[in-house]
Amino acid sequence: MPAQKLDQAIGVTNSRSAFDPPGNEGYPRSAVWRGLHRGLHTGRSGSWARWCAALALGALAATPLGYSAAARADDTAPAAPAAPAAAPADTGLPEITVTAEKVRSTVQDTPISVTALDGDALQTAGITSIEEIAHEVPGLSMRSAGPGLTEYEARGLASNGGAAPTVGFYLDEIPLSPPALSQSGKVVIDPNLYDVSRVEVLRGPQGTLYGSGSMGGTVKIITNAPKLKTWEGSAQGMLSTTDGGGTNGSANAAFNIPIGDMFALRVVGSDTHRSGWIDEVAVNPFPVNVSSTHFGSLTSAPVESVIHDANDENLSTERISLLFQPSEAVSVTAFFMNQRLSMGGYDLLDSTPTSSTSPGPVYDAHYEPFSMREPIQDNIQITSLTAEIDLGFADLTSATSYWDRQAVQTQDASTSIYWTNAQAGGHYPPLVPIPYSEVDPSRQFAQEIRLASHDVGGLHWVGGAYFSALRSVWQEESANPIMQNFGIPSGSYFTSYNPYDMRQSALFADGSYALDSHWKIAAGLRWYSYHSGQHEQSWGYDAPFAVPSTPTLTTADEKGTNPRFNVSYEPDKTLTYYATAAKGFRPGGANQIIPPPNLPPHCTPGSLSFKPDSVWNYEVGEKAKLLDNRLTINGDLYYIKWSGVQQVFTLVCGYQYYNNAGDGRSYGPELEINAKLTQHLTASVSGTYTNSEITNPTQAYQQYLSQQVTEPNGSHPCPVSGSCTAPIMNIPKETGSAVLSYTQEVATDYVLTGRLDASFVGTSTDLAYYYGMTLPSYTITNFRMILERDKWSGQFFIDNLTNKVALMTANNTSFQFNIPQVVRYSTNQPRTVGVSFNYRF
């Protein structure tokens, strides 16, 4: 076997693909990324040390994830000629180029906390969505009920309150905002990751360069750009089966087509089917009990019908990019993406379906009185135009984007509306089918213009202007003709049409200056202004008004600044120390009018508006390359002061609203270690510990907490008076991941690799109805074997090797009324075994 082929397998790389045609042999962008929790919390270190040792002894692993080949000098430029094969002694870990600070740099040379994941390495690891990445990046967490229903959080800054997220989300230069009022949370789209260049995860406030939705961090997906004068393409097929479910399959293809000397077209298409594994079971008679906080035995009730594997998913994506480059100094890229997601039901399972004395969920079913699907659809069309001009002294970039998204969900609200109205005094109709639908159409126009200087004498600067206009409409509809007997038009329990508009403007500047060959200082400032307004028109039996009325307008405005300061010290090219202080903010907003007059009198009215919240993040960190770059250690320690925390308030009558809960803080260490142990064996570990609390609750939030009951002991988390603290919801205290990989030549020109990885998520606090609860920790393990030769590769994989059932969040899709009888937990896909084949030309 040629020496360079073996080098390819173990990660000695350059910027070329592993599947270059004969005569252009390059190196794959394989690399190390993942990690393992290292016992940062007292009481867990021993068990985690034993777990890590057992994993290390038993692992066969494959191409590691994280650092990729050195990126191209320019993402839009044609591929450079293949570099000469590296000598066998060149065994260092390759790096990936990032644009985190709106300037190209490597991960190790960027003095902020950033993780970069290479697109080819993601494909090798079988990662196809950002949701899967959330388990791999220290400091990043999520709440999810399945594809298209995921919100992201970073460094303990939960997104479950307010009208804006705490983590920014970008597709190339396109800011993607979640629906402002969706009661499923700040959910962004779930884009297919086939044919992407890389994913960058920036931790800590990025408000200077990325704006209001990035006070906890920013996730950036960078797609592969068209290449001039280059024909290339790839195709992938996958087939698998899920335990307790059915057959899964996907097909992906990408083509780069040069058109003359100045144009290039890149077309990407993906189609994925995932089988469901959770049944929807209708029982009759349904053992509803309005005088108890528990239903009767559901598992022993007569089964009327079963919808098997109801939570199946279909996802299709088309992306088209057209590059026009008339000269080296000018390029214009037009981009279009169309994605359609449909699911038959949620990735949710039921808790305690038998009785209060039999705790524990049913892992494969959800119980309802009527046979009713709970479908989900999420469709989006994205268009953008990006122009880049080299002015000699600086690069001018204009990024214009527009997208239109339509998200629709439906739940069976028969039991929740029946029980809620029963608590209002007994005047309620019989148990009847009530499909409860939430429609969240949203669209956004955004424009950014910026100048980025060419480095002169150690000085670099970026400056520009930003504008965006988001319209998000919150529509809900639940009805049954029987309600017409109560004088309610169309038999409506609750109907709403609430448009929410948010306009943001900003001016920003950020720069750095190298004082000498060791010291560099950086600073930035963003001035922002926003205006938001909500028109509310809600009517129905359980709405503020019985019949349609004049819309009520609630507005919020704010202006302010976000500064950033950074200093870094580089004693040599293998080590960097840095310190950062940065501010981030999130706009305030408006609530719906709650509660309606007919609900229980002890259901406290909610505020019509809430104020902005902001954070100051203080951080010190280091980045080290040791042993001729065979070992990298990146770590940081941060402390965040959070003012005016926006939090969701869940009322005893089942309604939710947002308000400022008080001041809080979050702190913890983050660590990533990557090592090339031998020419064949690589390993990586990473982890974080997050301590996130509300330390100074407002009087309103303390009163709210005093009414809350913490299961299972029935205690109250906060007294009516006196001081108290409360955990930030949905934030795991510990997360970690680990990867071991081994690569070996098995025949002439054939390379076999094996890969074992594991991700750990610690305990977290969640809220269902108005009960606080602790979600248990879990570990997910995956295994892959990969055989590759020249242009093709084949994989055998087992995802969720131990068939772990994880309870990730509770009741995060309850846009209908919350009730105490049944808590629905978001869960993960069971053990899935399959094969995939990849071909490039």
The arithmetic mean of pLDDT across residues 616-635, rounded, is: 94
Phi, then psi, of 700 in degrees rounded to 5: -65, -40
pLDDT bracket for residue 626 (50, 70, 90): very high
Question: Among residues 683, 765, 771, which one has the least CA distance to residue 725?
Answer: 765
pLDDT of 65 reads 40
DSSP element (H, E) containing 347: none
Quick one: tokens of 128?
Answer: 């196809």
Say if residue 59's pLDDT is above 60: no
Quick one: tokens of 297?
Answer: 């035995």
CB 367 within 8 A of CB 281: yes
CB 341 within 8 A of CB 818: no
Q: Which of 9-13, 546-550, 580-584, 796-800 has the lowest mean pLDDT?
A: 9-13
Cβ neighbours of residue 455 under 8 Å, at least 6 residues apart? none
The arithmetic mean of pLDDT across residues 187-205, rounded, is: 91
Strand partners, 740: 683, 756
pLDDT bracket for residue 353 (50, 70, 90): low
DSSP element (H, E) containing 48: helix 45-58
Per-residue pLDDT tens over the stretch 60-90: 333 334 433 333 333 433 333 333 333 334 5
Phi, then psi, of 561 in degrees rounded to 5: -135, 150
Quick one: tokens of 247?
Answer: 């057959």
The arithmetic mean of pLDDT across residues 548-570, rounded, is: 88
Phi, then psi, of 54 in degrees rounded to 5: -65, -40
Domains of the chain by range and CATH?
Answer: 3-840 (2.40.170.20)
pLDDT of 61 reads 34
Identify the burial level of 262 via C-beta atoms within 10 angstroms of its C-beta, where 0-12 means exposed, 13-18 middle and 19 or more buried. Answer: middle
Say if residue 260's pLDDT is above 70: yes
Say if residue 595's pLDDT is above 80: no
The arithmetic mean of pLDDT across residues 34-50, rounded, is: 34
Per-residue pLDDT tens over the stretch 695-736: 998 887 877 777 665 544 445 556 556 677 888 888 999 999
Quick one: tokens of 104?
Answer: 């190209």
Quick one: tokens of 836?
Answer: 């995939």
Q: How far apart are CA 714 and CA 708, in angstroms?
A: 9
pLDDT of 360 reads 56
C-alpha distances out from residue 68 to 32, 124, 255, 576, Å: 8, 12, 22, 20
Backbone torsion region of residue 132, taken as left when φ is above 0, otherwise alpha when ψ lies between -120 and 50, otherwise beta: alpha
Say if residue 655's pLDDT is above 50: yes
pLDDT bracket for residue 2 (50, 70, 90): very low
Q: How far apart are CA 220 and CA 117, in angstroms?
A: 10
Backbone torsion region of residue 121, taken as left when φ is above 0, otherwise alpha when ψ lies between -120 and 50, otherwise beta: alpha
pLDDT of 98 reads 77
CB 686 within 8 A of CB 716: no
Q: pTM above 0.95?
A: no
Per-residue pLDDT tens over the stretch 455-484: 888 899 999 999 999 999 988 888 888 878
